[in-house]
Structure 1
């Protein structure tokens, strides 16, 4: 599987279906960052898929809520 563009919203099915933005590569792993902020995590590419439109909307809503609470910039 080819690495996506930075910023692509993905779902990591290997980590409780966490949603995150692709940030780059770390050896054989893909680095994802939660949409609503927080530390990046390593994901195995075979456990990652593109987020659906509904999952992207939910993640972006969570980010806006976190921003309104002052948790992210």
Structure 2
């Protein structure tokens, strides 16, 4: 076969399983969603979608997000940024009902 389909896995593949840097994953140990920032020993370094401090995760336990999950997480992060900015400027923040401020 010319495509090498019967070759054994490369040593690097066996030594470093799991998602690659830049992948969006769910960490079931913390319940958080993060982006793979790199490796830390045998674990992964993850950071929140919106930036911030990193944490370590087991590459065998995390799972890649689906496109729908990633979109939902990005929308939630954008909404949180908007709420923080509005609160910082003493603007009324909605309660999720679509109504803002006094009626």
Q: TM-score, normalised by structure 2?
A: 0.57
What is the Cα-based RMSD across aligned positions, in Å? 1.8
The 3-state SS of whatever aligns with 2:60 is helix
Aligned length: 69
Q: TM-score, normalised by structure 1?
A: 0.76
Q: Quick one: which of 29, 54, 57 aligns to 1:43?
A: 57
Alignment of 1:12-51 (within 5 A): 12-16=27-31, 18-51=32-65
Larger radius of gyration: 2
Relative contact order, CA 8 A, sep 6+: which one is greater?
Answer: 1
Q: Quick one: which of 68, 74, 79 aligns to 1:60?
A: 74
User: Cα offset for 1:58?
Assistant: 1.6
| Unaligned segments of structure 1, at least 5 residues | none
| Unaligned segments of structure 2, at least 5 residues | 1-15, 86-103
